[in-house]
Amino acid sequence: MEEDEFFGEETFQHYCAEFIKHSQKIGDGWEWRTSKDCSDGYMCKTQFQIKNGTAVSHRGTSAHVQTCLPMEEALEPPLDDFEVMQTTTATEVIKYEYHVLYSCSYQVPVLYFRASFLDGSPLALKDIWEGVHECYKTRLLHGPWDTITQQEHPILGQPFFVLHPCKTNEFMTPVLKNSQKINRNVNYITSWLSMVGPAVGLNLPLSYARAAFQDEGNVDRQGSSIEPKSLEEL
């Protein structure tokens, strides 16, 4: 993506299509949804986490709730059924829904999410703030309403939390400039989501970054850009 390229909705959907294509390869659960009432769509994923922030995946659930564990936990042997049952009954499991939409006002992607316990009761904004990653808490303490707010989902019309997009251009511009400087291909959605997602418990596997580099290699070999599947085909 060129430094001065206009990040319109078509560009947004292009990067989402590439992102979802890789997600399908690794079973990471991201998908594209459209509204019955309009042509607008969004990228979404559902996952479950225990209250202390560790992502969990239950046997019998779909790939849509599987996520990448932190490295030290990924190296531990997998739990058997009895241990999983003990873990989930001894702690509070939270269901997170993550939605990535395009903001026409800010002309950038926006992360909407909501969280609830397994009995359906939603988490309060205070609980969401308390669960923010330590790296982000300093900024949150100085201005929580500039970071996480509760708004109506622009497509679903339901209450969601949202990471405010007012600073997105500010922190993404150096990323795009650096990638252009070293002539390296980047997926805007991958770069952006890897920076904002951890604030609310959403971590991306490293293979997303490797996929962008592989696409770059394919472009060099083929002498032309790769055309990802359309969102309708995905």
SS3 content of the chain, % helix, strand, coil (to 5): 40, 20, 35
Q: Is 16 a catalytic residue?
A: no
Q: Is 227 buried (19+), middle (13-18) or exposed (0-12) by CB count in 10 A?
A: exposed
DSSP letter for each residue of 143-161: -GGGTEEEEE-TTT-SEEE
Which amino acid would we find at residue 129? Answer: W
Angle, CA 130 vertex, CA 127 and CA 133 arms, to 5°: 130
Q: What is the CA angle 73-66-26, rounded to 5?
A: 100
**Catalytic residue selected from 38, 68, 104, 166:** 166
Alpha carbon dihedral 44, 50, 51, 55, in 10-degree steps, equals -50
Instruction: Report the alpha-carbon distance of residue 176 to residue 212 in Å, rounded.
Output: 14
Are 155 and 35 in contact by the 8 Å Cβ rule? The answer is: yes
**Catalytic positions:** 166
